[in-house]
Amino acid sequence: MISYRVPFNKPFFIEKSFQYIRDAMEKGNISGNGIYTLKCHSLLKQLFGIRKAMLTTSCTHALEMCALLLDVQPGDEVIVPSFTFVSTINAFVLRGAKPVFIDVRSDTLNMNERLLERLINSRTKAIVPVHYAGVGCEMDVISSIAASHNIPVVEDNAQGIFGKYRENFLGTFGCLSTHSFHETKNFSCGEGGALFINDPQYIERAEILWEKGTNRNRFFRGEVDKYTWVDLGSSYLPSDILAAFLYAQLEDHIHIQLVRKKIWEYYFENLKDWASNLNIGLPFVPVHCDQSYHMFYLLLPSFNMRQSLINYLKGKSILSVFHYVPLHLSEMGQRFGGKLGDCPVTEDVSIRLLRLPFYNSLTTSDQRYAIEALKDFNGE
Ligand SMILES: Cc1ncc(COP(=O)(O)O)c(C=O)c1O
């Protein structure tokens, strides 16, 4: 593997994580639903004011739980942006759903709420907005359209933890929302995620799905005298070692978010004039949104210029990366009828977007090095 002076991402450790892992091991319970899992659940619940939080083995698995909780059946349709990660829709397709791809807005790159109503029909089972780069989708409009058709909203908030839309935390608008603690995210335990449940009708079944389709949670609470197979399910709960690792970071969330804010603002302040001279777009955050400081991207004027910039930065030992390939044009997307022209904004931005290195331990001197390198790039 090539090593870069400024890689795109670097895993992040804090000392306290090791202390908590040791503690979990010494307490002798490192399988799922242990002490640190419960600590994470109550901290998340308290921080976000939600009905229930459950750690999962990934955001992908939290999304799979959503598909099961909503009882998605073959033939149901799920509306999802084409500009997202595979899991946002694959979780529903696993239950037999048909993806209905919606285009994104050209400013925030989030689901274009103005296109939503026309995609809804009697088969629509869920609407899944994705808060791209941790900037909120237009949740007022999306929620009201969804409510008028009685369709549940599942927020894919993989990137948006601690972001806000009109003063409310992302992940608190939908009946369910999902989060990622993958290595590349603001808070990480390598692979991990969380399901937030805002509508209490889903809580009891979520506990069963989480524990392989058994009522083991009720057994642990002393509500039944033995546990057994009562529903579908899988092993969606992470080891308590991962929860211990993550808990230390969640406790330190104010500091971690401040560090990320500083990195984001340093890019923005130092690149805005250069970008405007070269007609390069920078992320747009509406005034009513507080972003999660997950990502910093550039929107180059053309595909060719993006590719030259990637190569130019590689030459300076800086790794920058593109992002999603439109899902409606992917092999699977095409099997569902996706074709060129269906989501023109997605098709356009996906070939021009470039993500810059962004990780909690990015030093100012490395960031300055990357910024100086960018400023020496004249577009060719
Ligand atoms: C929008 C979105 N949804 C879902 C996922 C999947 O997350 P995980 O890797 O935790 O399964 C990602 C991963 O990057 C993502 O960006």
Which residues face 299 on adjacent strands? 281, 353
Whole-number Å distance, alpha carbon 183 to ligand 1 midpoint, is 10
The token duo for 329 is 């044009």
Pick from 195, 379, 260: which is nearest to 9 by CA? 260
Whole-number Å distance, alpha carbon 368 to ligand 1 midpoint, is 29
Q: Is this structure's pTM higher than 0.95?
A: yes
Whole-number Å distance, alpha carbon 181 to ligand 1 midpoint, is 9
pLDDT given for residue 380 in this prediction: 72
- Ligand 1: residues with CB < 6 A are 58-60, 84-85, 87-88, 130, 156, 158-159, 180, 182, 193
**Region at 225 (left for phi over 0; alpha for psi -120 to 50; beta for the rest):** alpha
Whole-number Å distance, alpha carbon 298 to ligand 1 midpoint, is 20
Q: Which atom of ligand 1 is nearest to the CA of 180?
A: 10
DSSP codes of every residue in 264-295: HHHHHHHHHHHHHHTT-B-----TTEE-----
Whole-number Å distance, alpha carbon 60 to ligand 1 midpoint, is 6
Question: Ligand 1: which residue has its CA nearest to atom 7?
Answer: 59
Note the CATH number of domain 253-320+356-375. 3.90.1150.10
Continuous segment of H or E residues that includes residue 127: strand 124-127
One-letter identity of residue 22 = R
Among 8, 54, 60, 181, name the best residue to mutate to test ligand 1's pocket (greatest count of ligand atoms within 8 A of Cβ). 60
Whole-angstrom distance, CA of residue 360 vs CA of residue 346: 29
User: Running DSSP on this structure, what letter comes out for residue 173?
Assistant: S
Q: Which atom of ligand 1 is nearest to the CA of 182?
A: 10
Whole-number Å distance, alpha carbon 223 to ligand 1 midpoint, is 35
One-letter identity of residue 154 = V
Among 182, 183, 321, 324, name the best residue to mutate to test ligand 1's pocket (greatest count of ligand atoms within 8 A of Cβ). 182
pLDDT given for residue 233 in this prediction: 97
Instruction: Name residue, tokens 């390198």.
Output: 373
Overall residue count recorded for the chain in this entry: 380
Q: Is 15-251 in CATH node 3.40.640.10?
A: yes
Q: Are 300 and 380 in contact (CB under 8 A)?
A: no
Q: Which atom of ligand 1 is nearest to the CA of 185?
A: 14
Helices (H), 163-227: 203-210, 216-220
Instruction: Name residue, tokens 């239950």.
Output: 95
Among 87, 130, 189, 294, name the best residue to mutate to test ligand 1's pocket (greatest count of ligand atoms within 8 A of Cβ). 87
For residue 350, which phi and psi values (nearest 5 degrees)? -65, -25
The ranges assigned to domains in the chain are 15-251, 253-320+356-375
CB-based contacts of 309: which residues, under 8 Å, 6+ apart? Answer: 298, 300, 320, 354, 374, 377
Q: Which atom of ligand 1 is nearest to the CA of 191?
A: 10
**Average pLDDT along the chain, 380 residues, taken 10 residues at a time:** 94 95 96 97 98 98 98 98 98 98 98 98 98 98 98 98 98 98 98 98 98 93 93 98 98 98 98 97 98 98 97 98 96 98 98 98 98 91
Q: Are 193 and 66 in contact (CB under 8 A)?
A: no
CB-based contacts of 346: which residues, under 8 Å, 6+ apart? Answer: 81, 82, 83, 101, 103, 104, 326, 328
Whole-number Å distance, alpha carbon 85 to ligand 1 midpoint, is 6
CB-based contacts of 165: which residues, under 8 Å, 6+ apart? Answer: 131, 136, 137, 139, 173, 288, 289
Which residues face 144 on adjacent strands? none
Whole-angstrom distance, CA of residue 234 vs CA of residue 213: 6
